[in-house]
Amino acid sequence: MEQNQAHNVPNTAQIGHENFSRYSFSSTRRIRFHGRKTEREKVYFKIKDLINQGVTSTTDLSLQLGKSTRQTRRYLKKMARYRMVNLDTKSGRLLKQGVDYHSLSQNSFSKIPEISKWIDDCIARELAPRTIQMYLFSVRYIFGTIRTNPKNVVSSKNNAIEFWTKFIVSYKKQSLSKGTHHYRVSYKNFLASHGIVLPTRMSKIYGLSSGHDNLGGYAGVCFSSQVTEELGKMMLDAGDTELYTWFRVGLRTGARSRSIAKMTWDRIYFNETNEDGTESFKIEQHETKDPHGQWFLGENGEWKAKYPPLDLKRVLLEWKTRSPKSNFLWFEDDVSDLQNRKNAAKFAYQMSVRLKKYYEQISHKVDARTREFMFKRPTHILRHTLAQQLKDAGLTSEEIADGFGWKTSYIVSTWYAKTSEKKRKELGLRCSKVIF
């Protein structure tokens, strides 16, 4: 009791659940993490996400984070003390860590009845283990910041909103410029498991919308045709056929990096023809952003069918003569779904690192927002480029969404593309002719 008072930690009766108290408040280290370490906490999230993608080398992690290897090692040691990662006691290297449904329920926070029910609901809805893990980490942080029994929070909609308000005020006082997307999505998912679903307008009023922190902030960023041509030429001149093929697939299909990395030859149909008998071809890419019960490599997703331009067909046929003798485009088939997922994640990361090296050579030829985004999301900017270039060519947001796998035209028009300056001038000229 004296120790609790010394650190302003409420006793078990005040919290209302023994396991929750022991998990969140039994050490000063964890109090500091939950209450004051918001700057580091964001880095911890990033490191966990990279590890889940298969990036386990300290050097690779430091490169992705933009930190020194020494600083990254310090982060990993701190995370190991919080039991977020496992380190070899002798070498200090990351131990291989797998996340499965069983391991999600092993800590005391996960055994709280309201949390345990939520985990079971997530499993029943077939969410990936790593997705549930990230949800858990976010909600655990929320309850660590505002020390309240989860049972009280889910007892009513008003209590849930009041609790969120307390958390967001506390969080913003410490990190005014930091985003809250992962907290909002995780908390709403937790509430939904207990029958609390907020209407869209109410969610926005109370700061609980599911929109990205920078929704629309990078709409319109893209490479010009001149820049893409120059990038492609540099890759070919360097003999980097593998990266060039990846680059062209990203530009011509707009797929996300993990989707490109998982591509297989049996899902590329080279002998398709149009109704008039002219040449065509089709690609199917597996996206997990919006699960539709179509499973591949153990992940729930959707096969997106696309009919790219014929120049990509020729690039892929050339790559097929050079690629590994495997059904996968980029790596040997390891038979295991888990290992193939890791292979795909590792390859996607490697492509991002290699793309940045070429981007550095053309960084002076793009605007500031594009420059920022291309280093932040090296492959994803190709998806933005596809959307914006098609928009500039006169295609509607509906046509772009239908043809290249976006869920709605709204996403295309608000997150990926915007009306070009040329089009704005044309609209202004047409409006000037209207007399009113």
Beta strands in 217-346 (DSSP E): 268-269, 282-287, 294-296, 299-306
The pLDDT-based confidence of 415 (bands split at 50, 70, 90) is: confident
Q: What's the confidence (pLDDT) of residue 225?
A: 94
Cα dihedral 314, 316, 322, 326 sign? negative
The model's pLDDT over 323-359, given as tens digits with 9 standing for 90+, comes to 988 999 999 998 889 899 989 999 999 999 999 999 9
Q: What's the confidence (pLDDT) of residue 316?
A: 97
Maximum mean pLDDT: which of 130-139, 217-226, 278-287, 414-423: 278-287
Q: What's the confidence (pLDDT) of residue 220?
A: 86
The pLDDT-based confidence of 11 (bands split at 50, 70, 90) is: very low
SS3 track for 46-99: HHHHHHHCCCCCHHHHHHHHCCCHHHHHHHHHHHHHCCCCCECCCCCCECCCCC
CA 405 to chain centroid, in Å, comes to 17
Inform me whether the pLDDT recorded for 17 exceeds 60. Answer: no
Q: In the predicted model, what is the mean pLDDT of residues 247-271?
A: 96
Percent of the chain residues topping a pLDDT of 70: 85
**What's the chain's Rg over C-alpha atoms?**
24
The pLDDT-based confidence of 128 (bands split at 50, 70, 90) is: confident
Which one is predicted more confidently, 113 or 137? 113
Domains and CATH numbers, the chain: 2-205 (no CATH), 225-426 (1.10.443)
Maximum mean pLDDT: which of 45-49, 89-93, 373-377, 428-432: 373-377
The pLDDT-based confidence of 245 (bands split at 50, 70, 90) is: very high
The pLDDT-based confidence of 244 (bands split at 50, 70, 90) is: very high
Percent of the chain residues topping a pLDDT of 90: 45
Mean of the per-residue pLDDT values of the chain:
83
Give the type of residue at 70: R
Maximum mean pLDDT: which of 11-15, 17-21, 136-140: 136-140
The pLDDT-based confidence of 215 (bands split at 50, 70, 90) is: low
Q: In the predicted model, what is the mean pLDDT of residues 135-145?
A: 90
Q: What's the confidence (pLDDT) of residue 112?
A: 92
Q: What's the confidence (pLDDT) of residue 281?
A: 94
Cα dihedral 324, 327, 329, 331 sign? negative
The pLDDT-based confidence of 66 (bands split at 50, 70, 90) is: confident
Q: What's the confidence (pLDDT) of residue 97?
A: 56
Inform me whether the pLDDT recorded for 380 exceeds 60. Answer: yes
